[in-house]
Homo-oligomer: A and B are copies of this chain.
Amino acid sequence: MRIQGRSCLVLGGGGFLGTNLCRRLAAAGNRVRAFGHRRMFPDALTGVEWQQGDLADGAALTKAIESFEIVFHFVHSTTPYSANLDMIEDARRNVLPSIALLDMSHRLGVKRIVFLSSGGTIYGRPQQIPTDETAPTEPITAMAISKLAIEKYLALYEYLHGLEYRILRVANPFGPYQLPIKRQGVIAELISRAIANEAIDVWGDGSVIRDFIYVDDVVDAMEAAALDASKERIFNIGSGTGRSIREIITTIEKQTNSKFNIRWKNSRSVDIPVSILSIDRARKELKWTPRTSFELGIEKTISWWKNSASEIKQILHNQIQSSGIPPLPH
């Protein structure tokens, strides 16, 4: 399903998933506006309106929403790791502004909100693998508690005010426009290291299993969720297959003809040993299926890194200059 002839606001439109979605929507001729702190790749967003702003800035948000029909909500100020360091701030900066967003969307006549939730963390340590949408949600990171609360407010707003919504619990996405920052994006980090021939830190012993999904397939699911008329509201989006960090490393080494120098680090408490999502509901209700094999996804990602090498280098350099945070911590 493709979105056509609509107006779409993408909160967090300058980030990894946001950039990919905006490009797809703009290419199909939709009116697209991206809202967020910054665009990582401004040149990638030609034809997309840009509004810089913070989710917690009510006035900026109202201005951004304006008369847009579909709102994609991808903004979250923390990571699974950082959220646990200040849980109050995580809730204050993400949950409270999301409630305000719902209220504005309702008042301004938004047709539907598509919310990006976290398939990898919302279930906590899953009791059943693969994990479906009805599994208990027992997060071990405050970020996922905030995501869960926002999911519940979405349901409440539909119940009270008829505001439509869909939730995508996305596994571990990878692909073009993902940069290895904030200790996230292991595939992006591995590829960038492989290309630069640098050593890499890996938390745990490499046996951790994740459900990686190529970004184009995630964007397919976002479009399907925006148009979905089923009675379901929450959809897991993953490949349905688990891969260990060791497998990822092997695949990337093979495709880049390189050998990693790995420094093994102690595993972190927010790391769940195995996370694989059941995607039966999305297959059935959204008529969606992941179309890109893991190997092809890696190939496309490597090729993007190689073609964008100088641009990425400049972005990472600017990132360090502006934030003081080294994007590739050693």
Give the B-binding residues of A (Cβ under 8 A): 84, 87-88, 91-92, 95-96, 99-100, 103, 134, 136-142, 145, 148-149, 152-153, 155-156, 159-160, 269
New A-B contacts (18) at CB < 8 Å, excluding given A91-B99, A145-B152: A84-B160, A87-B103, A91-B91, A91-B95, A91-B149, A92-B96, A138-B155, A139-B152, A139-B156, A140-B159, A140-B160, A141-B156, A142-B156, A145-B153, A145-B156, A149-B149, A159-B269, A160-B269
Known: A138-B155, A156-B139. A100 touches B84 (CB 8 A): no
In angstroms, how far is the closest chain B Cβ from the Cβ of A151? 9
In angstroms, how far is the closest chain B Cβ from the Cβ of A90? 9
Residues in chain B near residue A155, CB distance under 8 A:
138
Residues in chain B near residue A92, CB distance under 8 A:
92, 96
Copies in the complex: 2
In angstroms, how far is the closest chain B Cβ from the Cβ of A69? 24
Residues in chain B near residue A141, CB distance under 8 A:
156
Are B91 and A96 neighbours in the complex by a CB distance under 8 Å?
yes
| Chain A interface, >50% SS class | helix
Are B99 and A88 neighbours in the complex by a CB distance under 8 Å?
yes
Residues in chain B near residue A138, CB distance under 8 A:
152, 155
Are B156 and A149 neighbours in the complex by a CB distance under 8 Å?
no
- Determine the distance from Cα of A92 to Cα of B159 in the docked complex, in whole angstroms: 22
